[in-house]
Structure 1
Amino acid sequence: MGHDTVETPNLSFGRGGEPGRGTPYAQYVRLEELHSLQHPRSKEPAELSFIVTTQVMELLFDLLRHEWTQAREALREDDLTAALAALRRGTHVQDVLVESWDLLATMTPQEFNSFRALFGEASGFQSSAFLHLEFMLGNKNAALLNMYAEMPGTRAELAEALRAPGLYDEALALLARRGLAARPETSEHRYQPSEEVEAAWRRVYTDPEFAALQPLGEALLDVAERVTRWRQRHLTAVKRTMGGKPGSGGSSGLTWLRKSAEQDVFPELWTIRDEL
């Protein structure tokens, strides 16, 4: 074997912005900083699993938002191939998110209660990254912005997401441009099912002229199904660890989660199945 010199790239991503600290890998992924972010507040071993799982989910929320944004922009540009690729990548992220609940599946009520009081009113319901995804799905509610009154940057970002077209909005706009009378207008309120949209999707699945759009419908259903799986796993995890007690952030706990799990995402794609 030869003795060629391999040049190491000068990556300036170390903690605190200091170049040259640690290996190139540590610098690139900000390893030192990443592993310094877990601070359990109790001596309960299960708390570390709770913190790490929550942090991983937050990172995956950001990644999913990236993929859905790519898909939305591609739909806006009539690039169906790129949109489908982004949605496919996103479903892999969703699969990991769903399976992430396994890390908390065996936590007993005693373990959870041993540190629950230590994080006060903190709740996953307060996650701005998760709320951004909900807005992109059409589950919009302007009142939720009040949680971020003391975080003007986050509030402004979510307000923009509230006003912007969601993933489904852009899909329906594409259908309209292809000659289907789907509703393309954007709303700042929760999406409501439409007979017009249902008729448009029915034609996609029954009229050969629009058959090329069926992969989009199926890709959106893949997204919707995984959203439901996520909600169901969340419901089950909460039911197992804390039962029907109110949520730490003041939510109604199981009642709210159960209602959420029963709501179909992209509803017309489900209802047309009755007639196909």
Structure 2
Amino acid sequence: MPPENSEYAQYMRTDELLALQRTPEEWIHPDELLFQITHQSTELWLKLAIAQVLRAAERVAAGQPGQAELLVQRACTALRLITGQLEILRHLTPADFARLRPALGNGSGAESPGWQGLRRGGRELGRAFEVRLAATGDTLAGLYRGDPSGDFYRLAESLVELDERIALWRTEHYKIATRIIGHAVLGTHGTPVDALAKLITHKLYPRLWAVRTELTEAAR
């Protein structure tokens, strides 16, 4: 095994990272480790996604939609990864979660700094996109009637994918939550579990979805 003070450990700050979970002496139930690591790693991936989205907003403002699109795709990949890792929570039984739940107190995923930051960053990116679109003198409908290989068209589609990735995470999260604690019950922070289902249809970029309806109806 490499020494604990190896250059890798120092750069990755593994001592600090691996000390962020509750210890066995603190556990109410051993599955706290599974639950904490899943959510802590989610926050790390969201931190990366936020950084990419904010950089993308800067690139859009600078008139570089192609570079912005690549950055948004990184954020989309981060969201795909956190959606996939929810799968491990299927190994958390309802009885075991009920035992460890007191450790959460009144904590709620709605308080996640990662999700709050991504929403803020996403809105900033959306505003930058709208400003740049207006500067071109084009409309969304005009853009979507244009060349799908163009940088600005591809950027618009990457925003749609970002929105979709968020919805897919919310869908999986809702299904996992109901699998573990059921429907028509209160989750942490007193939030009804079925309220999560309503978030699935929320749109970060509603105009980018509405333009599809506009084009479909115009073609009738």
* TM-score, scaled relative to structure 2: 0.88
Q: Which residue of 1 aligns with 2:194?
A: 254
Is 1:30 matched up with 2:16?
no
Q: Provide the secondary structure at the position in 2 that maps to 1:215.
A: helix
- Please list the CA deviations of residues 97-155 of structure 1 after superposition, one character each: whole Å capped at 9, or x if unmatched: 111211212322101001101221112211222212122334xxxxxxxxxxxxxxxxx
Q: Distance in 2 between matches of 1:134 and 1:250?
A: 22
Residue of structure 1 aligned with 2:93, choices 108, 111, 136: 108
Aligned counterparts of 1:35 and 1:215: Cα–Cα separation in 2: 39
Q: Which residue does the alignment assign to 1:67?
A: 52
Deviations 1:182-209 (A, max 9, x none): xxxxxxxxxxxxxxxxxx211101146x
Pick from 162, 166, 180 the counterpart of residue 241 of structure 1: 180
**Greater C-alpha Rg:** 1
The within-5 A match list for 1:6-45 is 22-39=5-22, 41-45=26-30
- Summarize the alignment of residues 93-172 of structure 1 with structure 2, pairs less than 5 Å apart: 93-138=78-123, 166-172=124-130
Please say if residues 28 and 103 of structure 2, whose CA atoms lie closer than 8 Å, have aligned partners that are also in contact: no
Contact map agreement 2:53 2:122 (CA 8 A) in 1: no
Paired amino acid for 2:96? E
1: CA distance, partners of 2:66 / 2:143: 17
Higher helix share: 2
RMSD: 2.0
Count residues in correspondence.
Answer: 209
Alignment-derived partner of residue 85 in structure 1: 70
Q: Which has the higher contact order (CA 8 A, sep 6+)?
A: 2
Name the TM-score, length of structure 1 as normaliser: 0.71
Q: Percent identity?
A: 26
1:192-244 superposed Cα distances (whole Å, 9 cap, x missing partner): xxxxxxxx211101146x95521111111111110110111111111111123
